[in-house]
Amino acid sequence: MKLIKQSKLLTFQVIFSLIILNTQISFAQSKFDGSYIGAKLGSAQGSADSNNAAGTFYNGANTGQYSPNGNIFGIYGGYNTSFSKEYFLGFEVGLNRLEIKTEKQFSGYVGDATRIDDSIAMTDSGYYFSPEVKVGVLLSENSNYYIKAGKVFSNIKQSYRDNNATGAILTPQAETSNLNGNSIGLGFEYLDKDTIYKVDFSSINFGTRTMRTSVNNSTTSFVDFTDKLSLNIFSIGFAKKF
């Protein structure tokens, strides 16, 4: 009887071990699994729109759309883990510098020597932090493509200024800073030994913000402007696994 019980127990242990082994094989690690840290650089193509807010009629018209284009560079790190033979889940964070200082003057004053530094919308450079979740598909043991989504937290600033004594002066300049938004994107990665090379595209939408300032340093006369900003970022990077 004791032998029969031991035999049943052994059989159960063998079956359980085979189940565990089969699960481990089915969810075998890919070469991309694990932690990594790297650096990237790229270009940013932006779209900004500066308008009078509802109830504001500064200059009688909007400054309008302009394109704050520039460059980015930064560092990033993350972790990947497989959840099937073909798919993996990743979490990545990046700290990047955006060099993008661009401004646009109200079209009615462009070229007018008496309207220097008058009615100018600007998007300024800054840093942004981007935590993202990505889902990847293995093309081979050394390559994959992925889609991603995340949040963006930045100290990028948009502003509207009028320092010209002809007409009204805005004191201080109207501005929004610490712009936050959402990001989506996709990319391709190739693994060579312990180095991951990637090409990446991110679309960031900061939405619309409202900013207020006073006219001629008044405590009763105010104007409101809205600014909208979105960025398309193309980058290349490399990372080391560890």
Q: What is the pLDDT along the chain (242 residues), one digit of tens a residue?
A: 443 444 444 444 444 444 444 444 445 589 999 999 999 999 999 999 999 998 889 999 999 999 999 999 999 999 999 998 899 999 999 999 999 999 999 999 999 999 999 999 999 999 999 999 999 999 999 999 999 999 999 999 999 999 999 988 999 999 998 999 999 999 999 999 999 999 999 999 999 999 999 998 888 889 999 999 999 999 999 999 99
Cα–Cα distance, 14 to 23 (Å, whole number): 14
Sign of CA dihedral 99, 190, 151, 224: positive
Cα–Cα distance, 25 to 21 (Å, whole number): 6
- Domain spans of the chain, in order of start: 1-28, 31-241
Q: What is the CATH number of domain 31-241?
A: 2.40.160.20
Q: Which amino acid is at 77?
A: G
Map residue 145 onto helix, strand or coil: strand
Rounded to the nearest 5 degrees, what angle is found at the Cα of 60, between the Cα atoms of 59 and 61?
A: 90
Q: What is the pTM of this model?
A: 0.84
**Contact residues for 55 (Cβ-Cβ < 8 A; gap 6+):** 224
Cα–Cα distance, 33 to 31 (Å, whole number): 6
